């Protein structure tokens, strides 16, 4: 019970960190550093932290046959995932981006049905349709405010990021079952770093660090250390003690924390489009993730 309480606290803390990240990252880009340059900073910093941590962890050898899966995880979980998310966030508002990210559990379910032939009930299909309508509504009618320069494109890129992360969760599952996480995550981030390097280097070189305020350095450090490294460690803790379904529920808290933080700092506003979109998406997620008793006539699961 004590371990479960700690795990629940850890899962809540992850949601708070992610919720805050939407606004903190938005403060850094594109004003001081463009999205791809910021990603290069985030991935390289996290890579160093994971390799240093690995020195103090049990050593395992990765089988050669598992490296293609690690490369795929690096692409979908680090490179493509982060490039589309940060580019999208740089163009849209924190609240819109956080609402769209809630579609991740639905995306995972659809991909599971396609890739591993997991059975889908009518309720799940209805939920996915509701969620898609909410997401489309937000992308098409969400207004650009403040530093949201192109909300439609930004929201679309955040949705692509959620799709990419859905692929990553399915790909990485077998690695999680086989190895200690630190055995393969250092490789995922090293390969991911090499993938984002060509995209981020020119933007990183263009940064005039002499005019970057101290507070922005702290915000960059927050994204590297807390939003990436610490959240990964906390996710490991929660996954040991809580079921995947329970862990997935905590992603729904992210828009709440993102909204409170963004509005509190005057970085975003709460429009009717965002509220209606959120209701549709949350209703869809509820239908998709709701547990039901097995129907004997359907042969169980």
Residue 215 confidence (pLDDT):
92
Residue 72 confidence (pLDDT):
94
- What integer is the mean pLDDT of 275-291? 69
Are 255 and 21 in contact, with CB atoms under 8 Å apart?
A: no
Residue 234 confidence (pLDDT):
82
pLDDT-derived band at 297 (thresholds 50, 70, 90) equals: very low
Residue 266 CA: distances (Å) to CA of 17, 109, 110? 18, 35, 36
Decide if pLDDT at 246 tops 60. no
- What integer is the mean pLDDT of 108-123? 66
Q: What is the mean pLDDT of the chain?
A: 78
Are 105 and 288 in contact, with CB atoms under 8 Å apart?
A: yes
What gap in Å lies between CA 114 and CA 110, rounded to an integer?
6
Residue 216 confidence (pLDDT):
92
Length of the chain: 301
Are 274 and 94 in contact, with CB atoms under 8 Å apart?
A: no
Which tens digits make up the pLDDT trace of 145-191? 444 567 778 878 888 888 887 788 778 778 877 888 888 889 999 99
What gap in Å lies between CA 11 and CA 13, rounded to an integer?
5
Residue 69 confidence (pLDDT):
92
β-bridge mates for residue 300, sequence order = 295
Supply the DSSP string of 179-209, one letter for each residue. S-HHHHHHHHHHHHHHHHHHHHHHHHHT--G
Going by C-alpha positions, the residue among 133, 140, 55, 163 that lies closest to residue 92 is: 140
pTM, to two decimals: 0.73
Residue 202 confidence (pLDDT):
92
- What integer is the mean pLDDT of 123-134? 71
């Amino acid at each position: 019970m004590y371990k479960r309480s700690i795990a629940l606290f850890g899962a809540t803390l992850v949601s708070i960190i992610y919720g805050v990240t939407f606004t903190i990252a938005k403060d850094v880009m594109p004003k001081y550093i463009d999205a791809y340059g910021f990603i290069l900073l985030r991935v390289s910093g996290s890579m160093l932290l994971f390799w240093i941590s690995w020195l103090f962890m049990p050593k395992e050898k990765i089988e050669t046959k598992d490296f293609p899966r690690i490369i795929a995880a690096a692409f979908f979980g680090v490179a493509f995932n982060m490039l589309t998310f940060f580019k999208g966030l740089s163009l849209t508002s924190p609240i819109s981006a956080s609402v769209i990210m809630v579609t991740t559990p639905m995306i995972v379910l659809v991909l599971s049905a396609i890739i591993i032939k997991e059975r889908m009930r009518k309720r799940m299909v209805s939920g996915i349709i509701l969620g898609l309508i909410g997401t489309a509504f937000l992308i098409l009618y969400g207004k650009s405010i403040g530093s949201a320069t192109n909300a439609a494109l930004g929201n679309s890129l955040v949705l692509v990021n959620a799709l990419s992360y859905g692929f990553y969760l399915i790909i990485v599952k077998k690695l999680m079952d086989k190895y200690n996480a630190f055995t393969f995550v250092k490789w995922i981030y090293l390969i991911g770093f090499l993938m984002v390097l060509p995209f981020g280097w020119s933007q990183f070189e263009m940064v005039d660090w002499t005019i970057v305020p101290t507070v922005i350095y702290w915000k960059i450090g927050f994204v590297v250390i807390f939003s990436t490294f610490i959240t990964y460690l906390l996710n490991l803790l929660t996954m040991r003690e809580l079921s995947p379904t329970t862990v997935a529920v905590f992603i729904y808290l992210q828009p709440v924390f993102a909204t409170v933080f963004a509005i509190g700092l005057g970085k975003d506003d709460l429009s009717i489009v965002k509220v209606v979109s959120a209701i549709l998406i949350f209703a869809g997620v509820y239908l998709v993730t709701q547990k039901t008793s097995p129907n004997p006539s359907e042969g169980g699961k």
